[in-house]
Every structure is written in structure tokens, then in C-alpha cells.
A and B are shown apart, each in its own frame.
Chain A
Amino acid sequence: VDLCSVSLGVEGMTCGSCVQSIEQRIGSLPGVIHIKVSLEQKNATVICDQSQQSPESLLEAIEDMGFESSLSDSSR
């Protein structure tokens, strides 16, 4: 599989529970291999299968959960 690492800025998280719900929900999306959300840095790092997820689709999924998200960096 063609893996890529996507880093997204996430605004609006205030506690560990927010972090956990994002990790669970995004982590269960198809093609998502690994996700790490940082409350301090207000970002999420996702390792995913490029053929199933794109930085844009991940961004949309986080926004859909009610958090503001922005594309900060993506490397392949």
C-alpha cells in the first residue's frame, strides 16, 4: 500500500476526552493506519493509505465532528 503521513491542525479541543473521541472516530475510518492527536500542539498526525484517504478527506472528517481543522503539512 501507498502510505502517507498527514499533519492537520485541530482547533477547539480542550481536554483528553476530545482527543480520545477524535482518535477513535478518525482512527476507525477506512485506510487510516495510525493517528496521534496532540492536545498541546493542537494537531493530529495521521498515517493513512493514500488510495483511501486524502488530506482533504481527513480534514473534512474532523470538521464533521465539530472541530475546526486546517491543513498544516503533508509529506509522502
Chain B
Amino acid sequence: MTKHEFEVAMTCEGCSGAVTRILNKLGDVKFEIDLPKKLVWIESDRDVEVLTETLKKCGKEVKYIGIK
């Protein structure tokens, strides 16, 4: 599986909690969140566009950084 790095404009545990719940709903992904650095690492075979759109659902700014 490919590990992607995203920057998500999270400011608190509420934000990262929302991201966690959204990604859990997606199912077959493994992910890690670094709140202080505002980074989300996702291990998935899905398209980057799909992952980006999913992250955007929480209403935060999302930036794709690249493959880790």
C-alpha cells in the first residue's frame, strides 16, 4: 500500500477527531494524525483525489504533500 502525506488545517482535538471519524467511515485505510504538525498520513490503495475529497468533508483546508 502507498503511504500519502496530507496537510490538513486542524486546530484542535475536535478537528482531528472529525478527521478520524471520516477516515474510519472510509473503511480500508490505515492512518496516523499528527495534530501539532497538522499532518495526516494515510496508507491506502485509493486514489489521491478520493482521499483528498474525503478529508475535505470536514470543512478544513487540505493540501496533498506527496508520497511518504
| Contact surface of A with B, Cβ cutoff 8 Å | 12-15, 17-18, 21-22, 24-25, 64-68
Contact = CB atoms under 8 A, between A and B. Distances in A.
A15 B22 contact: no
B57 A18 contact: no
Size band of the interface chain B makes with A: 10 to 19
Contacts of A67: 18, 21
* Residue of B14, B19, B20, B58 contacting most chain A CB atoms (<10 Å): B14
Contacts, number: 47
A17 B19 CA distance: 14
Contact of B13 (A14, A22, A64): A14
Interface in B14-62: 14-15, 17-22, 57-60
B42 to A, nearest CB: 15
Among B17, B21, B59, the one with the most A-chain Cβ atoms within 10 Å of its Cβ is: B59
